[in-house]
Amino acid sequence: GAQRCCVMSDRVRAKWRFVAENEGDISMEIGDVVQVIESTNDTNAWWTGRNCRTNETGLFPANYTEKFIPAPPTPQRVKTPQSRPSSASGRRGLGFIGEGSV
């Protein structure tokens, strides 16, 4: 359940620890990723989200969080086309055709 949550759309990361004080609030530790369910443009408001670590859903203070942009997927996508063996074998194939026709 936690992994599925963290794959979804808008996410934020906790900048500070927050301990739930009221029923319906969710606690966050520094670094926790929260899937945003309902938000406003007001970062001083309380947003609704699901803590991906604890799988709790509830309200949290938006100003305790920052936009979460996962870094790892980008470099992997860049490296994949360059290291494909099929492109190297394709070049070899073209080379053999050129040599044979000369």
Residue 3's pLDDT is what? Answer: 43
Residue 69's pLDDT is what? Answer: 81
CATH of domain 2-67: 2.30.30.40
Which residues touch 52 (CB under 8 Å, ≥6 apart)? 2, 5, 6, 11, 32, 33, 34, 35
Q: Which residue has the higher pLDDT, 102 or 16?
A: 16
* pLDDT, mean over the chain: 78
Mean pLDDT confidence for 55-75: 86
User: 48 burial class (0-12, 13-18, 19+ CB within 10 angstroms)?
Assistant: middle
Q: Is 53 in contact with 26 (CB distance < 8 Å)?
A: no
The model carries a pTM of 0.63
Mean pLDDT confidence for 28-34: 98
